[in-house]
Amino acid sequence: MLAFVALCPIPTSAQQLSAADSDPAVMGWMQGFPPPPDKLIMQPDSNFFSFPKLRWTVCNFRELLPTEQVSRGIGAPVPLEYDLDEAAIDGLTFKPMGSRDTMTWKESLLGAGQPWVMVGDPGLGTKMGT
C-alpha cells in the first residue's frame, strides 16, 4: 500500500526545465563524434549526477563506470503478475517537497524535470530513486 509519494527538489537553476526541454537528445548531450566540449558527460567530472545531465547518465551509466552484468540464470523467464491501474496512478495527488501546491502524478512527470522520486510503503521503509 502506497503511503506517500514526493518529488525531492534539486537545488539548481536548471530545475525550471520541463521534462521535454531537459530531454538528453534535446540538450545535445554526448551527440556527434567527438561531442562538443560543452556537451560532454564524463567521469570523474563530479557533475554527471547533476540535473539535467543525470537523465543521460542513468541511461548510459555503463559508459562512465565499470559495472557487473548479472545473469538471470539458465531457466526460462517467469512473467511477473501485476494489476496495473494507470488511472489510479495518474490520479495520485501530493505536494512536492518545498511547495504548497498540489499536483497529480501525471503532472509531476511532465513538470519541472525533477528526477528524484521518493516512495514510502508501510513496513518496507522509504525508497528513493529516479
Query: What is the per-residue pLDDT for 124?
Result: 52
Residue 125 has φ and ψ, to the nearest 5°, of: 85, -165
Assess whether pLDDT exceeds 70 at residue 122. Answer: no
Query: What is the per-residue pLDDT for 67?
Result: 79
Per-residue pLDDT band at 105 (split at 50, 70, 90): confident
Query: What is the per-residue pLDDT for 115?
Result: 54
List of residues 6+ apart from 89 with CB closer than 8 A = 105
Assess whether pLDDT exceeds 80 at residue 29. Answer: yes
Grid cell digits, residue 60: 548510459
Using one digit for the tens of pLDDT, what is the confidence trace for 39-55? 988 877 768 888 888 88
DSSP states of 79-121 as a string? PPP----HHHHHT-EE--TT-S--EEHHHHHHSS----EEEEE
- Please say whether the beta carbons of 111 and 103 come within 8 A: yes
Higher pLDDT, 108 or 25: 25
Per-residue pLDDT band at 21 (split at 50, 70, 90): confident
Using one digit for the tens of pLDDT, what is the confidence trace for 44-94? 776 888 888 888 888 888 888 877 888 888 999 888 888 888 788 877 888
- Residue 1 one-letter amino acid: M
Query: What is the per-residue pLDDT for 61?
Result: 85
Q: What CA–CA distance (Å, rounded) separates 32 from 79?
A: 38
Assess whether pLDDT exceeds 60 at residue 34. Answer: yes
Provide the Cα torsion 41, 43, 49, 55; round to 10°: 40
